[in-house]
Amino acid sequence: MARVPSAVVAATGLVGGYGIARWTKKRQLGGAVLAVAGAAAAQQWRTRAGGKAAGALTAAYVAAFAGSHPLAKKVGAWPAVLGVAGAVAAASWAVADRKA
């Protein structure tokens, strides 16, 4: 079975969580997508890069989610979400996925 990079899982959680919340008008459903993908990515980070890296990347994931809200007021919702998802994906790749 092909291995899905943690960068893809994390970015999908951020983008998918926002998309689901927006299209269904159910913020809790979007939050569930965000949380499940974040937990899956954190498990991958811990396995591939260790606990400290997993903690740092999880903090970045949560900060990206929180930071996308004020950023959206400046650049728009989708550009903000895509920007923070790209940043988290790049960090995830650099720390956990690049070695594999």
For residue 2, how many other CB atoms are within 10 A of its CB? 4
pLDDT in tens, 13-48: 999 999 999 999 999 999 999 999 999 999 999 999
Burial of 25 (0-12, 13-18, 19+ CB in 10 A): exposed
Q: Are 72 and 59 in contact (CB under 8 A)?
A: no
* Confidence tier at 3 by pLDDT (50, 70, 90): confident
Chain-centroid distance, C-alpha 17: 9
pLDDT in tens, 61-94: 999 999 999 999 999 999 999 999 999 999 999 9
